[in-house]
Amino acid sequence: MARGANVKLTYYKLIGREVVETSDLMDWLNWAETADLQIDVSETADYHVSTVFLNTDLAHGRGSPVLFETMVFCRDSYEARIPEDQSMDQRQFRYSTWDEAVAGHAAVVEHLERQMEEAVVKAVESSRRPR
């Protein structure tokens, strides 16, 4: 028998907020044609945060399926105020469930907003110092 011949591929669909497994490729393809994979998106002047359903397991069968991802995309204005070693540009955060993805998205946005507030406070404080 050929290596991997008995491997059963699992596809994932999102029905409402529920992840549904299927081994039927045609069922999955039909669903994927019209599926809305966007879970949440947040925009500010300095960043774009997007959380999506990946519809494939990034854990590749090792442990709980990893099916959701939040990504951060920073704008140039953000990069100018945040040191490169603190930048969140292109950062990815991955989750197994809808609830984890929603909470993770909110936590990332909150972190970025707090980081921006701190950068503004530092800029204001440094502008008030005598030279």
Tell the residue number behind the tokens 């603190």, with chain if given: 86
Say if CB 98 and CB 68 are below 8 A apart.
yes
- Tell me 61's DSSP state: T
Domain boundaries, the chain: 36-128
pLDDT tens digit string along 62-83? 889 999 999 999 877 655 566 6
More confident residue, 37 or 117: 37
For the entire predicted model, the pTM comes to 0.81
Could you tell me what percent of the chain has a pLDDT over 90? 48
- Answer whether residue 54 shows pLDDT above 80: yes
pLDDT tens digit string along 5-21? 555 678 999 999 999 99
Residue 129 confidence (pLDDT): 63
